[in-house]
Structure 1
Amino acid sequence: MKTITSPRPWLLAAGSTAAVTAVLVAGGLAIKKVAGPQLRITTVRDGAVLNRADAARQTLVIEAGEPGKVRARLDGRPLALRRQGGRLVAELGALAEGEHELSVSAPGSLPLTDGGDTRRFTVDATPPSVTVHGLRSGANGQAPHLVAAGLRRPFSLSGEVKGAVRVLSDGRPAKVRKGKFTLDYPFPPDMVRITAYDAAGNRTDHHVPVVVPHPETRAVHVTALAWASKPLRERILKMIREKRINAVQLDIKDEDGIIGYDSQVPLAREVKATRGIYDARQALDQLHAMNVRVIGRIVAFRDPQLGKASWRAGKRDRLVRTPDGGAYGSQYGAQSFTNLAHPEVRKYNIDLAVEAARLGFDEILYDYVRRPDGPLKSMRFPGLRGSVEDSVASFIAETRRLVRPHGAFLGASVYGIAATRPHEIGQDIAKIGKHVDYVAPMLYPSHWGAGEFGLKNPNAEPYKTVYASMLTFHKVLRGTSAQIVPWLQDFSLGHPYGVAEVKAQIEAAAKTGSKSFLLWDPAVRYHPEALTPGAIGKST
Structure 2
Amino acid sequence: MTLLGVRPARIRLLGVATAALVLAGCGGGEPALEYKGPDEGALLNGQDLAEAAWEVHGEEGVPETVRLALDGQDVDADRGDTTLRWAPQDLDDGEYTLAALRQAPDADEPEVLHEWAFAVDATPPEIELTSPDSAVVAGEPVSVAGTTEPGATVSVAGQETTAGDDGGFAVELPEAPEGDLEIVAVDAAGNASDDQFTLVTVPSRVEVDHVRSVHVTPHAWATDSFRERILQMADDGIINSVALTLKDEGGRIGWNSEVELAIASGANEGVYDLEATIAALHERGIHVAGRIVAFRDPMLGPYARDNGDLDWLVQTTDGEPYTGRYECCFTNFSHPEVIEYNLAIAEEAARAGVDDILWDYIRKPDGPRENLVLEGIPNDEPLEPAIIEFTRLADERLSRYGVGHGASLYGIAADRPTQIAQDVPGMSEYLDYVAPMIYPSHWGPGEYGVADPNRQPYDIIDATLEVWKEQVEGTDTRIVPWLEDTTYRAWDRPHQVREQIRAARDHDIQEFLMWDPSVRYTLEAYDTIPRGREE
Matched positions, count? 359
Any residues of structure 2 matched to 1:188-199 within 5 Å, and which?
Answer: none
- Which residue of 2 is the match for residue 302 of structure 1? 296
Matched, 1:371 2:353: no
Q: Deviations over 1:310-339 (max 9, x none)?
A: 10010111110001101111111332x100
Give the residue type in structure 2 aligned to 1:303.
D
Distance (whole Å) between structure 2 residues aligned to residue 424 and residue 282 of structure 1: 40
Unaligned 5+ segments in structure 1 are 1-131, 135-145, 162-175, 188-212
Q: Deviations over 1:134-153 (max 9, x none)?
A: 9xxxxxxxxxxx99999969
Give the residue type in structure 2 aligned to 1:351.
A
| SS of residue paired to 1:460 | coil
Give the residue type in structure 2 aligned to 1:379.
L
| SS of residue paired to 1:220 | strand
The TM-score normalised by the length of structure 1 is 0.62
| SS of residue paired to 1:297 | strand
Unaligned 5+ segments in structure 2 are 1-127, 150-162, 177-206
Name the CA shift for 1:315/1:232 in 2 (closer, same or farther; >3 Å).
same
Matched, 1:412 2:378: no
Give the residue type in structure 1 aligned to 2:256.
D
The TM-score normalised by the length of structure 2 is 0.62
- Which residue of 2 is the match for residue 449 of structure 1? 444
Distance (whole Å) between structure 2 residues aligned to residue 360 and residue 521 of structure 1: 25
- Which residue of 2 is the match for residue 471 of structure 1? 466
- Which residue of 1 is the match for residue 277 of structure 2? 283
Distance (whole Å) between structure 2 residues aligned to residue 242 and residue 434 of structure 1: 36
| SS of residue paired to 1:323 | coil
Q: Deviations over 1:156-200 (max 9, x none)?
A: 888999xxxxxxxxxxxxxx999867799999xxxxxxxxxxxxx
- Which residue of 1 is the match for residue 18 of structure 2? none
Distance (whole Å) between structure 2 residues aligned to residue 273 and residue 149 of structure 1: 30
Match of 2:259 among 265, 268, 271: 265
Matched, 1:334 2:328: yes
- Which residue of 2 is the match for residue 224 of structure 1? 218
Q: Deviations over 1:397-417 (max 9, x none)?
A: 111122121121111000000
| SS of residue paired to 1:304 | coil
- Which residue of 1 is the match for residue 341 of structure 2? 348
- Which residue of 1 is the match for residue 423 of structure 2? 428
Matched, 1:401 2:404: no
Matched, 1:235 2:229: yes
Give the residue type in structure 2 aligned to 1:366.
W
| SS of residue paired to 1:252 | strand
Give the residue type in structure 1 aligned to 2:257.
S
Q: Deviations over 1:270-293 (max 9, x none)?
A: 111001111112211111111001
Kept in 2, the 8 Å contact 1:320–1:339? The answer is yes
Q: Deviations over 1:412-432 (max 9, x none)?
A: 000000000010010000011
Distance (whole Å) between structure 2 residues aligned to residue 178 and residue 366 of structure 1: 45
Name the CA shift for 1:377/1:534 in 2 (closer, same or farther; >3 Å).
same
- Which residue of 2 is the match for residue 107 of structure 1? none
Matched, 1:293 2:284: no
- Give the Å deviation of 1:435: 0.5
Kept in 1, the 8 Å contact 2:132–2:143? The answer is no
Give the residue type in structure 1 aligned to 2:317.
P
Matched, 1:501 2:482: no
- Which residue of 2 is the match for residue 530 of structure 1? 525
TM-align CA RMSD: 3.2
Percent identity of equivalent pairs: 39
Answer with 395-404 or 344-353: which moved more: 395-404
Distance (whole Å) between structure 2 residues aligned to residue 351 and residue 267 of structure 1: 10
